[in-house]
Amino acid sequence: MAELTLHAVRGMNDILPPESASWQRLESLFRDILRVYGVGEVRTPILEQSILFARAIGDITDIVQKEMYTFQDRNGVSLTLRPEGTAGVARAMIEHGLLRGQSPRVYYLGPMFRHERPQKGRYRQFHQLGVEFFGNGGAATDAELIALSAHLLAAAGVPAQLQLNSLGTPAARASYREQLLAYLRPQRDSLCADCQSRMERNPLRVLDCKMAGCQAIAQDAPKLLDHLDPESAEHFALVQRLLDDLGIPYQINPRLVRGLDYYHRTVFEWVAEGLGSQATVLAGGRYDGLVEQLGGGFVPAVGFALGMERLLTLTPVQPSPRPELFLGALDEPALGAVLQTCQNLRRQGVSVVMAGPGSVKQLLKAAQRSAARLQALLGERELHDANVLLKEQAGNGQWQGSWTLLEQGLRSLGVDFERGHPHTTAPSDAVGKLS
């Protein structure tokens, strides 16, 4: 029988070193920025009841119709791997009573799941950082959130262009919908198959379609912006004025709609160069109706989600950090001393790798592979003879002395002991008990 080869699920990626270091760097950069905006982290389960997404995102969206991983668990309950984060966060806020008289600002960071056709920048498991501001309906909150999104992208070093639109209120949108349908119907045959089938249910999606034929038709379609209700028009004008005040450039894109049903008024996207048709790295907008739709009363809200994979393809790859020191044990009696020293230095924040027991030749090879800045080899003899040789691998710096004075040697060769974590230092006997 042919042997079964195991592999990851199609469209789902393993994130390995050194790439995972870039993820960590970006994540901690983002967490630091979110802290100064007073935004706290929410971690919701990856599985939710399927009805949450049908109610939040809308039955006739691509996500709910075609993209969700939905299955019955052993009790026959229909569950769905979250395709986006906002619905679960809103559910959690309502469930824990956090929206009563409060205006929480929260973020989430984690995997999302959509059964799409995998391609560059489009995966079946992908990661989003999302931010949600609950409880404020004013244009200033939209501007503040957009400023936060600009801050994150700038910190990541990714140049992108901000596109802005307003979808108005659902009521104003309903009358626009009829006009748009009247424009689209005579041209139905020229639309792509997807748009033909969704046109009657969700004609706004045609404006957002990426097929060339549909884009050409969308170009001359009546504009939603010309049909805004007066309050939405005023709101949109104020968002623009505040962005001008903040010095954040934007482009009005009257064809910008979002793939989810819950948006009202302001919608925006940051579009980067060099990603082809997967150019949107961050997308969001106002969703004043969602919380009410989920049974939480009227709570206005605005938020965005940033695609981590797309962003990471645009950030320069950084070399993986090299260890500071390589320690090689030449024989078994030296192993204990080498291991203890490694632990001791690591508790002080110094990165150390070790190998052994092995011959000088083997250890030197391992030292080279480790790319550590400094190296030392020792066996039983060196431990007693006080002639440990600590050397730079690439330079000429070196130090020779007693094993017990190794830390002095390391300091003399520029090892930084200040980056340690004294509060996590375990007493050495506790470490002993672990092994």
Q: Is 278 in the site for ligand ATP (CB under 6 A)?
A: yes
Residues 354-413 contacting ligand ATP, CB under 6 A: none
Closest distance to ligand ATP from the beta carbon of 291 (Å): 19
Q: Is 116 in the site for ligand ATP (CB under 6 A)?
A: yes
Contact criterion met (CB below 8 Å) for 66 and 114? no
Q: Is 126 in the site for ligand ATP (CB under 6 A)?
A: yes
DSSP, collapsed to helix, strand or coil, labels residue 147 as: helix
Q: Is 310 in the site for ligand ATP (CB under 6 A)?
A: yes
DSSP, collapsed to helix, strand or coil, labels residue 21 as: helix
CA nearest 164: which of 266, 271, 302, 246? 266
Instruction: Give the Cα separation of 20 and 83 in Å (integer).
Output: 23
Closest distance to ligand ATP from the beta carbon of 387 (Å): 57
Q: Is 307 in the site for ligand ATP (CB under 6 A)?
A: yes
> How crowded is the C-beta side of 74, counted as CA atoms within 13 Å?
0
Q: Which residue is nearest to ligand ATP (CB)?
A: 307
Which H or E run includes 353?
strand 352-355
Residues in the chain: 435
Size of the residue set binding ligand ATP (CB under 6 A): 18
Closest distance to ligand ATP from the beta carbon of 280 (Å): 4
Nearest CB to ligand ATP, comparing residues 315 and 320: 315
CA nearest 91: which of 259, 262, 205? 262
Nearest CB to ligand ATP, comparing residues 129 and 377: 129
Nearest CB to ligand ATP, comparing residues 275 and 406: 275
Closest distance to ligand ATP from the beta carbon of 271 (Å): 9
Which H or E run includes 263?
none
Strand partners, 122: 119
Residues 207-266 contacting ligand ATP, CB under 6 A: 259
Q: Is 114 in the site for ligand ATP (CB under 6 A)?
A: yes
> Strands 251-252 and 125-134, how do they pair?
unpaired
- The one segment of 92-100, 227-235, 274-282, 379-387 that binds ligand ATP by CB under 6 A: 274-282
Q: Is 305 in the site for ligand ATP (CB under 6 A)?
A: yes
DSSP, collapsed to helix, strand or coil, labels residue 360 as: helix
Contact criterion met (CB below 8 Å) for 28 and 93? no
Residue located via tokens 């974590």: 421
Residue located via tokens 């060769």: 413
Residue located via tokens 């004294």: 422
Q: 10 Å Cβ neighbour count for 375?
A: 22
Closest distance to ligand ATP from the beta carbon of 10 (Å): 13
Closest distance to ligand ATP from the beta carbon of 60 (Å): 15
CA nearest 53: which of 69, 41, 42? 69
Nearest CB to ligand ATP, comparing residues 84 and 132: 84
Nearest CB to ligand ATP, comparing residues 119 and 387: 119
Q: Is 128 in the site for ligand ATP (CB under 6 A)?
A: yes
Closest distance to ligand ATP from the beta carbon of 269 (Å): 7
Closest distance to ligand ATP from the beta carbon of 119 (Å): 9
Q: Which of 165, 280, 348, 375 binds ligand ATP (CB under 6 A)?
A: 280
DSSP 84: -
Q: Is 194 in the site for ligand ATP (CB under 6 A)?
A: no
Q: Compute the Cα dihedral for 273, 65, 94, 45 and give only its sign.
A: negative
Q: Which of 123, 133, 326, 403 binds ligand ATP (CB under 6 A)?
A: 123
Contact criterion met (CB below 8 Å) for 186 and 64? no
Q: Is 136 in the site for ligand ATP (CB under 6 A)?
A: no
Tell me which residues touch ligand ATP (CB under 6 A).
84, 114, 116, 121-123, 126, 128, 259, 278, 280-283, 305, 307, 309-310
